[in-house]
Amino acid sequence: MSEAPVEKYLREQVIARGGICLKLIIMGKRNFPDRTILMPGGIIFFVECKAEDKKLRKTQKWFINRVLRPLGFRVYVCKTKAQVDETLNSEMET
């Protein structure tokens, strides 16, 4: 599955759960995750969507592991609709 259907599904599922799914374009930061998710109850996390056969670029891994996670943010990589469901279910349980 390519990245586009996964990202579309993510948007639909976030909205269905009462959240907002933002695509932030940050100048000079190509490594920023695809989506910033804002959910009811003040839940904020990031999702990078990838095609099933693609991996994170080195710079994406660096940004996630050296910048976002050390600041306490949760970041997920979703390659399938099932991973989107797992991510959202996990976050809503928190």
What domains does the chain contain, in order, with CATH numbers? 3-93 (3.40.1350.10)
CA distances from 83 to 27, 46, 48 (A): 28, 14, 11
- Residue 8: the pLDDT is 97
Tens of each residue's pLDDT in the chain, 94 residues: 789 999 999 999 999 999 999 999 888 778 899 999 999 999 999 999 999 999 999 999 999 999 999 999 999 999 999 999 999 999 988 6
Nearest Cα residue to 50 out of 12, 10, 79, 83: 79
